[in-house]
Structure 1
Amino acid sequence: MIIQKPAVEVLSTESYEDMLRRIERIGRVCYKSEDRIEEGSAEKFIRGIIRRGHESVIEHGSITVKFICDRGVTHEIVRHRIASYSQESTRYCNYVKEKFGSQITCIDLATGFRYDLNDETDRKKYDVWQEAMENAERSYFQMIELGATPQEARSVLPNSLKTELVATMDLREWRHFFRLRADAAAHPQCREVACMLLERFAREYPVFFADLLEAEG
């Protein structure tokens, strides 16, 4: 069994500068102020419409992300309806195969829940979790050996199973996502990947997300 930490990967190829220019041009149609487009005007314009709550304009931009997390977390993510999703399928992926390392991969419980593995209580909880993951892997392999298909054998796989979920959301929905999933009340493992992604978005798409990072921080 492999234990892996969660991760995020941005798959979109449109540059921040191109996104800014395109959304400014679209947004200025509302005010017929296209004549005010000039070098450096996009960020100021977009920051203003976000501040005024005119976020429908930024629905014209989208970002695609790959989450590498556990399957329990993906149940939280896919509740965001205004999005497109593609996910690693346990119906068709056979983890006995060599391309999966002939073992299952689980997302480390300790990082999302911030276990201190030098603490006796946290260590005991972690050891119970790890044993459960090893038992699940063993049961999965036994079912495959007995002739079960992957879609049968997946019934014994845990929520902690590593999965890859590709999500495309428009910029407005990403802002909504972060307001919910990066909040202190969010599920700890979902908040872990949401905060990871928000930090990256705030760095790479600052006019759209930096204010949320400041509010979250």
Structure 2
Amino acid sequence: MKVIEPYVKFESDINGHEILKQIEKIGRVCYKSEERITNDSAEAFIRNLLKRGHESVIEHISISIRAICDRGVTHEIVRHRIASYSQESTRYCNYSSDKFKNELTFIKPCFWNREEDHEKKEIWVTSMKIIEDNYMNLLKLGATPQEARSILPNSLKTEIVITMNLREWRHFFKLRASEAAHPQMREVALIALKLFKEKIPVIFDDIIVNNR
């Protein structure tokens, strides 16, 4: 049994400044103002688009990330309709195989970190260990992975590749990085938002979150 924390990474290299130039080139078609493009005109142009709510232009750019998180979080992620998803399948993955080091991997809950939460955390650890033992025993008894998965919990680690256009990413972060979101969903969204802000200027600057 292994317990890890969630993390997020881009599926390909991201050049934020080139992305902004491409958006500007597309967006200026609307105004036939291509002659105003300079080496440093993209940021101001796009900031003005967002300020005016002309966000359809940023739909032309899509970004893919890989999120390593628990399966409960992915149930919320896939509710976003304007997106494409590819997720690790518990029907076909046999976690008793060497590929998975003959063990289940779980995502550490982010909400039991205080001293007074110790007993809750211990109950969770014990439960995950029991589930791992029972899952492996089912496979030994001849159950297929798709049968044995029926006892797997939300805490099971999974990988999901998510592709959304930039406008939908903005919508995603406004919902999932807010304080109203589920704590584990928010944890993943904040990790992803930090990556986007580091790599792509302007587009996500107005999405301000409280990191408490």
User: Which TM class, normalised by the smaller chain length?
Assistant: over 0.9
Q: Taking structure 2 as the reference length, what is the TM-score of the superposition?
A: 0.97
The alpha-carbon deviation at position 114 of structure 1 amounts to 4.8
Alpha-carbon distance between aligned partners in 1 of 2:87 and 2:11, rounded to the nearest angstrom: 14
Aligned to 1:8: 8
Kindly provide the amino acid, as one letter, of the partner of residue 84 in structure 1.
S
Aligned to 2:182: 187
The Cα offsets for residues 166-197 of structure 1, whole Å up to 9 and x where unpaired, read as: 00000000000000000001000000010111
1:203 aligns with 2:203: no
SS of the residue 2:8 aligns to: strand
Aligned to 1:115: 113
Kept in 2: contact 1:62–1:171 (CA 8 A): yes
Q: 1:191 to 1:67 in 2, by over 3 A?
A: same
Kindly provide the amino acid, as one letter, of the partner of residue 216 in structure 1.
V
The alpha-carbon deviation at position 115 of structure 1 amounts to 2.0
Kept in 2: contact 1:58–1:170 (CA 8 A): yes
Q: Taking structure 1 as the reference length, what is the TM-score of the superposition?
A: 0.94
1:165 aligns with 2:167: no
Alpha-carbon distance between aligned partners in 2 of 1:27 and 1:12, rounded to the nearest angstrom: 24
Aligned to 1:38: 38
Q: How many residues align?
A: 210
SS of the residue 1:64 aligns to: strand
SS of the residue 2:155 aligns to: coil
The Cα offsets for residues 41-73 of structure 1, whole Å up to 9 and x where unpaired, read as: 011101110111100000001110000000000
Kindly provide the amino acid, as one letter, of the partner of residue 108 in structure 2.
D
Alpha-carbon distance between aligned partners in 2 of 1:96 and 1:85, rounded to the nearest angstrom: 25
Kept in 1: contact 2:112–2:118 (CA 8 A): no
SS of the residue 2:120 aligns to: helix
Aligned to 1:153: 148
Alpha-carbon distance between aligned partners in 1 of 2:2 and 2:78, rounded to the nearest angstrom: 25
Kept in 1: contact 2:15–2:199 (CA 8 A): no
More helix by share: 1
Alpha-carbon distance between aligned partners in 2 of 1:186 and 1:7, rounded to the nearest angstrom: 18
Kindly provide the amino acid, as one letter, of the partner of residue 113 in structure 2.
Y
SS of the residue 1:63 aligns to: strand
Aligned to 1:22: 22
The alpha-carbon deviation at position 16 of structure 1 amounts to 1.3
The alpha-carbon deviation at position 201 of structure 1 amounts to 0.9
The alpha-carbon deviation at position 14 of structure 1 amounts to 4.5
The alpha-carbon deviation at position 17 of structure 1 amounts to 2.1
- Point out 4+ residue stretches in structure 1 off by more than 6 angstroms: none
Kept in 2: contact 1:203–1:210 (CA 8 A): no
The alpha-carbon deviation at position 13 of structure 1 amounts to 3.0
The alpha-carbon deviation at position 35 of structure 1 amounts to 0.7
Kindly provide the amino acid, as one letter, of the partner of residue 47 in structure 2.
R
Structure 2's unaligned 5+ residue stretches are: none
Kindly provide the amino acid, as one letter, of the partner of residue 159 in structure 2.
E
